[in-house]
Amino acid sequence: MVLRTGPGIGRQVGAWLTTLVASATVAGCLISPPPDFEDPSPGRPNISMGLVVPAPWQILPIERNGPGVLFTIPFEADDAGEKVIMQAWLNWGLADEQAIVQRSWEAQADLAHQISWTWNPTLAIPEGCQQLTILITHESNISDSTPIKPIDPELTGSITFWLNVDPDPGAPGTLSQCPLPSPE
């Protein structure tokens, strides 16, 4: 590398700096403006499975017309100003599915949510092995058709509990006569 000295060095450095500043200015003009942001859309509710009460991995002995069962389901969701919808279904997606309840909650600014719901099983609930599925979604993801169901499963959080309805007192954790999938 040759290092020049003398009166011309200042002009060389000045020319180099001018070129650098001009390049940065021109490059700044090539950057596109920020994109137009759309209104946020609600995301899928993410259920905190480890905090759900009762625990979803245990068999729940249930007595029809017995004491109610309190379900507490914490979840995170960006509701984007929409109501949160909770649906409870007996044997969701199976041949004998039946809707139990639908409730709604107002949108919250916080991402953390919790649904607490007490279910009082009636005599209309079949005896033996049953599934109770709780679906959590947003108002815009609920169909207008009957039965009212979520439109997009990708925008729906779900949790399923295994129930032993009116169990044999000697074997409350034993499941029998479990529902079968719907024929296709």
Residue 60, domain CATH: 2.60.40.1930
Task: Work out the burial of residue 160: count CB atoms within 10 Å of its CB; fewer than 13 is exposed, 13-18 middle, 19 or more buried.
Answer: middle
**Per-residue pLDDT at 13:** 61
Q: What is the DSSP letter of 96?
A: T
Domain of 68 in residue numbering reads as 46-165
What is the largest distance, in Å, between two alpha-carbon atoms of the chain? 104
Does some domain include residue 80? yes
Residue 123 lies in a domain: yes
Q: Is residue 35 part of a domain?
A: no
CA gap 100, 167 in Å, rounded: 21
Beta strands in 69-178 (DSSP E): 69-76, 84-90, 98-105, 112-119, 128-138, 157-165
Burial class (CB in 10 A: 0-12, 13-18, 19+), 169: exposed
Q: Does any domain span residue 25?
A: no
The length of the chain is 184
Contact 95, 89 (CB under 8 A): no
The pLDDT score that the predictor gives to residue 17 is 62
In a domain, 126, yes or no: yes
How many structural domains comprise the chain? Answer: 1
Residue 8 lies in a domain: no
Q: Which tokens is 113 given?
A: 């949510």
- 4 within a domain of the structure (yes/no): no
Q: Is residue 151 part of a domain?
A: yes
DSSP 76: E
The per-residue pLDDT string of the chain (184 residues; one tens digit each, 9 = 90 and over) reads: 555 555 566 666 666 666 656 665 555 556 777 777 666 677 889 999 999 999 999 999 999 888 899 999 999 988 778 889 999 999 998 888 899 999 988 877 778 889 999 999 888 888 889 999 999 999 999 988 877 899 999 999 999 999 999 988 888 788 877 877 766 5
* pLDDT reported for residue 3: 52
